[in-house]
Amino acid sequence: MTETQTRPERKALPDEAAGAEASKVLKVALLGCGTVGSQVARILLEDGDALAARSGARLELAGIAVRSLDSKRDVDLPRELLTDDAEALVDSADLVVELMGGIEPARSLILRAIRKGASVVTGNKALLAQDGPALFEEADRNNAELSFEAAVAGAIPIIRPIRESLSGDRITRVLGIVNGTTNYILDQMDTTGAAFADALAEAQRLGYAEADPTADVEGHDAAAKAALLATLAFHTPVSLDDVRCQGIANVTAEDIAAAKESGFVIKLLAIAELVRTGDGGAATEGTSVRVHPTLLPREHPLAAVRGAYNAVFVEAENAGQLMFYGAGAGGRPTASAVMGDLVSTARRAVAGAPGRTDTATRRLPMVGVEGIFTSYSIGLEVADQPGVLSRVASVFAEHGVSIEAMRQTLEGGAPGSGTGRAELRFVTHRATEQALAETVADIKNLDAVESVTSVLRVEGV
Amino acid sequence: MTETQTRPERKALPDEAAGAEASKVLKVALLGCGTVGSQVARILLEDGDALAARSGARLELAGIAVRSLDSKRDVDLPRELLTDDAEALVDSADLVVELMGGIEPARSLILRAIRKGASVVTGNKALLAQDGPALFEEADRNNAELSFEAAVAGAIPIIRPIRESLSGDRITRVLGIVNGTTNYILDQMDTTGAAFADALAEAQRLGYAEADPTADVEGHDAAAKAALLATLAFHTPVSLDDVRCQGIANVTAEDIAAAKESGFVIKLLAIAELVRTGDGGAATEGTSVRVHPTLLPREHPLAAVRGAYNAVFVEAENAGQLMFYGAGAGGRPTASAVMGDLVSTARRAVAGAPGRTDTATRRLPMVGVEGIFTSYSIGLEVADQPGVLSRVASVFAEHGVSIEAMRQTLEGGAPGSGTGRAELRFVTHRATEQALAETVADIKNLDAVESVTSVLRVEGV
């Protein structure tokens, strides 16, 4: 065949968006009209032609369910779209966007939609971390689709890349900065030397942290996202209860300063790992999912994620190291993720074949503390006496924990005079959490040790 | 409804991958068995169960088309899979993976597959940059799917995020480091102060650059990727001919050093922009797509992309700034992208509804040099005479190009003595390329100006 024979002809394209031509209409029910919901409504009303051109169907905003009509008097949206009868709205719709948050009535409404075969787009991480795998199965059973890009890391496309782009690879680890509030606080502490309480107050003043910052600061928000990421990355159901979680409230300015001196930065990471235990023919796989403040080398790509930004770092056997970076919250960025799901869902609805959610293809066991190998940074206050270091070092040795680096700072009195105190900071080689816990317990019992000031995990080394 | 009533039941999952249960089989034809193809074959042969569990069908490697059976004597794959009859292999397959590269016979084989309704996965950026829009339409006409995640930035999921995750947003700009060879060379020059030729030789020694480095160094490889990214980001057909392209061969150690002094790094960027020309009711949209060495502030997320890594930075109206980072080349990373496309395509084939490629929904005009506003860094060698700076500055002023910063370095002779020379480096505010070209031409004609040593564009300021 010659080139001219095989080269296909181009059809003419209109100069204008082809959206006006789409004849099919899909009715969209929007549940919730807060920061994100109101942006989704705006985009649906403003960008109709472009959305229709990309979807193959006109996305008609059928209504917006709000808790109380009175509370939305000031919303700049057509009043006739608002309703307080969410169930009737769901029953009338082809596609449902759930942005109410919380467990109920969000779950009941999502199930109501799914069971009548309507596909759902949600950003509800709390609900998915609790009931995700069961909802996914229910969607598949009913030939409906359940999408949730907005539930993790706001505008950053991470759910679809993990579920689709990496579906032919084997993800071994996910490290995520998935909470902008805590990243802002830790970044402020790192940049200005501020104490935790002051950085939190500043974050609250700027609107990055809520009046009750518990869910962010204690890591619960990140833990819900970690459960979702692990479920998708490892094709196994992981729920919030499976995530071990430690927040940042105990991270001190001294921890940050000591990390900085050693070339590290402290980030709150959501970590999901595929763990191989045993070896040879007896090797089995498991997962470990956890959230905790973590020392990262300053040259690690995640270390450069500043302010309230989010990023997710993925390691896969063939792809190697990948990172996805962007705005992790906010009305417009999160609405962008919702709209991407909505257009993609609409395309498949037009084709008559909703995508399957089918996240779990196996059930991997959760690996306990005895199976996780990590490096640690440990800070101690000790009496400045001869022989203290040797006694501490021998405790590490007894538990098989090998020391990679040590730094001693004297805090008063002549060195070795027995009158001053010293601060010791150790970084260990990789050891099990169990070995470390036993080491720390025994170190605390040494006479010369006044206190263990910090125990922080180290990643990326 | 109470919680217990609405909470769906979980079905039991097998401990093992459910892949063994998949009853449907899809025959995969692999065209090409080079660096990437051999990795794709390995993954298909090794990971059958997991791929089946995720696809819903067993992906059976039906055969591998190679140019000559003799040349593949050493390949560690079952000999009976190899064939030199690519057309017969395509005719026997449900899904086709094209990794031969080049225009022919790749295009004829892809069309052969598409026209019989077989979906195709390809990594062939040269072919897509030349004929992509026509091939996409042909795929849609034949109800086949054409996927190409591997064609841009290797393992980095960027095609799917742009096509799907951002399908409800409006992308305004894409800046990509999409060629690892040139990024390695520029990074070496930046880190070690090496000249271009030495950094290129080092890249060749390490296997990052080919013996004939033209396609990389002159920006042609990046230009093909820029055309593809622009097509997808702006929903308009863009081909290689539409991309203005300048390589890195003329970037000097002095350019890099001067950029460094001013807080910039030089990267070869693929840039695709949505440009609004005119204003008010007469405003029209167009696109500008180009590849050139670019000054970026060191704090820009792309500035931290080191060595042979790739990254794509996307700006969208609602999502804000996003970045995707990872390995841009190599057999295993690129095979990961191919496999992600293959599993996703297989899922849809099982559901009986191939995805549409439908990239272009409109045809935007390309905007000429008169419509693009950019900042520039300009280096001049001038005689060190009183009044030279004032004469140069007045030329800028005549063309309406405003100067943001200036730095003068004396190179010999007493200052102002008229016996030495000086180097002037200007950074301008945003101006049209046309205004700049005219400015540079007039500056060259000034008696006191010996040469214009560099003209580089600046982004991210």
Q: C-alpha distances in angstroms, B142 versus A6, B48, B119, B133?
A: 15, 29, 9, 14
Residues 291-330 of B with CB under 8 A from A: 301, 304, 316-327, 330
Among the partner-chain residues A54, A133, A336, the one whose CB lies closest to the CB of B316 is: A336
Q: Which chain B residue has its CA at the smallest distance from A333's CA?
A: B319
Q: A109 CB near a chain B CB, below 8 Å?
A: no
CB contact under 8 A, A167 and B343: yes
pLDDT in tens, A100-112: 999 999 999 999 9
Q: Which chain A residue has its CA at the smallest distance from B350's CA?
A: A353
How far apart, in whole angstroms, are the C-alpha atoms of residue B358 and residue B338? 20
Contact residues on chain A for B330, CB-CB shorter than 8 A: 320
pLDDT in tens, B117-136: 999 999 999 999 989 888 99
In the prediction, which pLDDT does A70 show? 76
How far apart, in whole angstroms, are the C-alpha atoms of residue B19 and residue B16? 8
* More confident call, B359 vs B176: B176
CB contact under 8 A, A355 and B358: no
pLDDT in tens, B319-361: 999 999 999 888 999 999 999 999 999 998 888 777 777 677 7
B213 and B341 in contact (C-beta within 8 Å)? no
In the prediction, which pLDDT does A15 show? 40
* More confident call, B455 vs A416: B455
Tell me the count of A-B CB pairs closer than 8 A: 271
Contact residues on chain B for A341, CB-CB shorter than 8 A: 168
- Identify the H or E element spanning A408: strand A403-410
Characterize the bridge pairing of strands B25-31 and B95-98. Answer: parallel
CB contact under 8 A, A316 and B336: yes
In the prediction, which pLDDT does A5 show? 40
Q: A19 CB near a chain B CB, below 8 Å?
A: yes
Among the partner-chain residues B14, B319, B347, the one whose CB lies closest to the CB of A326 is: B319
How far apart, in whole angstroms, are the C-alpha atoms of residue B459 and residue B441? 23
In the prediction, which pLDDT does A280 show? 60
* More confident call, A7 vs B250: B250
- Give which of B456, B398, B461 is closest to B425, Cα–Cα: B456
- Asked if the model's pLDDT at residue A2 lies above 60, the reply is no
Count CA atoms within 13 Å of residue A294 on its CB side: 25
Q: What angle do CA A379, A433, A215 make, to 5 degrees?
A: 80
Neighbours of A202 (CB within 10 A): 16
Give the amino acid at A327: A
CB contact under 8 A, A340 and B15: no
Interface test with A, best of B49, B165, B239, B356 (most A CBs within 10 A): B165
pLDDT in tens, A166-184: 999 999 999 999 999 999 9
Residues 53-82 of A with CB under 8 A from B: 53-56
pLDDT in tens, B64-88: 999 888 776 667 888 899 999 999 9
Q: What value does the mean pLDDT of chain B take?
A: 89
In the prediction, which pLDDT does A361 show? 78
Residue whose token pair is 């010791």: A424
Interface test with A, best of B164, B296, B305, B345 (most A CBs within 10 A): B164
In the prediction, which pLDDT does B4 show? 40
Q: Which chain B residue has its CA at the smallest distance from A310's CA?
A: B322
Characterize the bridge pairing of strands A309-316 and A320-327. Answer: antiparallel
Q: B187 CB near a chain A CB, below 8 Å?
A: no
Q: Which residues contact B166 (CB under 8 A, 6 or more apart)?
A: A157, A336, A340, B233, B314, B316, B319
Tell me the pLDDT band of B1, cut-offs 50, 70 and 90.
Answer: very low
Query: Can you tell me the ipTM of this complex?
Result: 0.89
> What would the two tokens of residue A276 be?
């191989």
From the list A24, A116, A225, A267, the catalytic residue is A225
Give B213-220's long-range contacts (Cβ < 8 A, gap of 24+): B213/B181, B216/B179, B216/B181, B216/B182, B217/B181, B217/B182, B217/B185, B217/B247, B217/B248, B217/B249, B218/B245, B218/B247, B218/B249, B219/B179, B219/B182, B219/B245, B219/B246, B219/B247, B219/B248, B219/B268, B219/B291, B219/B292, B220/B245, B220/B247
How far apart, in whole angstroms, are the C-alpha atoms of residue B292 and residue B454? 13
Q: What is the mean pLDDT of residues B52-71?
A: 90
A459 and A302 in contact (C-beta within 8 Å)? no
- Asked if the model's pLDDT at residue B9 lies above 70, the reply is no
Residue whose token pair is 């020694």: B205
In the prediction, which pLDDT does B333 show? 95
- Asked if the model's pLDDT at residue A384 lies above 70, the reply is yes
A32 and A66 in contact (C-beta within 8 Å)? yes
Contact residues on chain B for A11, CB-CB shorter than 8 A: 137
- Asked if the model's pLDDT at residue B5 lies above 50, the reply is no
pLDDT in tens, B292-312: 999 999 989 999 999 989 999
CB contact under 8 A, B318 and A325: no
Contact residues on chain A for B156, CB-CB shorter than 8 A: 322
Give the amino acid at A326: G
Q: Which chain B residue has its CA at the smallest distance from A300's CA?
A: B304
Residue whose token pair is 């169960």: B49
How far apart, in whole angstroms, are the C-alpha atoms of residue A172 and residue A151? 22
Instruction: Specify which of A153-162, A359-368, A415-424 reaches the highest per-range mean pLDDT.
Output: A153-162
Residue B333, min C-alpha distance to chain A (Å): 4
CB contact under 8 A, A50 and B111: no
Q: What is the mean pLDDT of residues A158-170?
A: 93
Residues 399-458 of B with CB under 8 A from A: none
- Asked if the model's pLDDT at residue A33 lies above 90, the reply is yes
CB contact under 8 A, A13 and B363: yes
Q: Which chain A residue has its CA at the smallest distance from B349's CA?
A: A353
A59 and A29 in contact (C-beta within 8 Å)? no
In the prediction, which pLDDT does B21 show? 55
Residue A138, min C-alpha distance to chain B (Å): 7
Residues above pLDDT 70, as percent of chain A: 91
Q: B47 CB near a chain A CB, below 8 Å?
A: yes
In the prediction, which pLDDT does B358 show? 65
Q: B95 CB near a chain A CB, below 8 Å?
A: no
pLDDT in tens, B197-227: 999 999 999 988 989 999 999 999 999 999 9
- Asked if the model's pLDDT at residue B233 lies above 80, the reply is yes
In the prediction, which pLDDT does A68 show? 82
- Asked if the model's pLDDT at residue A421 lies above 90, the reply is no
- Give which of A35, A289, A297, A337 is closest to A158, Cα–Cα: A337
pLDDT in tens, B362-409: 888 888 777 888 999 999 999 988 888 899 999 999 999 999 989 888
Among the partner-chain residues B170, B326, B353, the one whose CB lies closest to the CB of A322 is: B326
Tell me the pLDDT band of A416, cut-offs 50, 70 and 90.
Answer: low
Question: Hey, which residues of B are catalytic here?
Answer: 225
Q: Which chain A residue has its CA at the smallest distance from B359's CA?
A: A54
Q: Which residues pair with B458 in a beta bridge?
A: B295, B375
Tell me the pLDDT band of A351, cut-offs 50, 70 and 90.
Answer: confident
- Asked if the model's pLDDT at residue B412 lies above 70, the reply is no
CB contact under 8 A, B326 and A335: no
pLDDT in tens, B136-147: 999 989 999 999
Tell me the pLDDT band of B14, cut-offs 50, 70 and 90.
Answer: very low
Q: C-alpha distances in angstroms, A400 versus A277, A295, A395, B243, B360?
A: 18, 22, 9, 60, 61
A238 and A230 in contact (C-beta within 8 Å)? yes
In the prediction, which pLDDT does A362 show? 83
For chain B, domains (ranges, CATH) are 18-151+335-351 (3.40.50.720), 159-329 (3.30.360.10), 369-458 (3.30.70.260)
How far apart, in whole angstroms, are the C-alpha atoms of residue B50 and residue B246? 44
Tell me the pLDDT band of A4, cut-offs 50, 70 and 90.
Answer: very low
CB contact under 8 A, A6 and B318: no
Contact residues on chain A for B155, CB-CB shorter than 8 A: 316, 318-320, 322
pLDDT in tens, A218-254: 999 999 999 999 999 999 999 999 999 999 999 999 9
How far apart, in whole angstroms, are the C-alpha atoms of residue B415 and residue B388? 12
- Give which of B334, B263, B269 is closest to B35, Cα–Cα: B334
pLDDT in tens, B366-379: 887 778 889 999 99
Region of B19 (left: φ > 0; alpha: ψ -120 to 50; beta: rest) is alpha
Q: A173 CB near a chain B CB, below 8 Å?
A: no
Interface test with B, best of A11, A162, A309, A318 (most B CBs within 10 A): A318
Residue B388, min C-alpha distance to chain A (Å): 43
CB contact under 8 A, A321 and B326: yes
How far apart, in whole angstroms, are the C-alpha atoms of residue B209 and residue B418? 45
Among the partner-chain residues A166, A321, A353, the one whose CB lies closest to the CB of B352 is: A353
Lowest mean pLDDT among A74-78, A143-147, A325-329, B429-433: A74-78
Q: What is the mean pLDDT of residues A23-28?
A: 92
Tell me the pLDDT band of A13, cut-offs 50, 70 and 90.
Answer: very low
**E-strand stretches of A82-138:** 82-83, 95-98, 119-122
Which segments of A16-105 does DSSP mark as H helices, in order?
35-46, 48-55, 86-91
In the prediction, which pLDDT does B201 show? 96
Among the partner-chain residues A8, A134, A165, the one whose CB lies closest to the CB of B340 is: A165
> Is A72 a known active-site residue?
no
Tell me the pLDDT band of A142, cut-offs 50, 70 and 90.
Answer: very high
Residue A253, min C-alpha distance to chain B (Å): 25
Q: Which chain A residue has its CA at the smallest distance from B352's CA?
A: A353
pTM higher than the cut 0.80: yes
Q: What value does the mean pLDDT of chain A take?
A: 89
CB contact under 8 A, B157 and A156: no
In the prediction, which pLDDT does B363 show? 85
Residues above pLDDT 90, as percent of chain B: 70
- Give which of A330, A292, A303 is closest to A206, Cα–Cα: A330
Interface test with A, best of B112, B159, B361, B364 (most A CBs within 10 A): B361
Tell me the pLDDT band of B416, cut-offs 50, 70 and 90.
Answer: low
In the prediction, which pLDDT does A17 show? 44
User: Residue A38: helix, strand or coil by DSSP?
Assistant: helix
Residue B138, min C-alpha distance to chain A (Å): 7
- Asked if the model's pLDDT at residue A442 lies above 80, the reply is yes
Tell me the pLDDT band of A370, cut-offs 50, 70 and 90.
Answer: confident
In the prediction, which pLDDT does A14 show? 44
Q: Which chain A residue has its CA at the smallest distance from B356's CA?
A: A347
CB contact under 8 A, B166 and A157: yes
- Asked if the model's pLDDT at residue B20 lies above 70, the reply is no
How far apart, in whole angstroms, are the C-alpha atoms of residue A62 and residue A394? 70
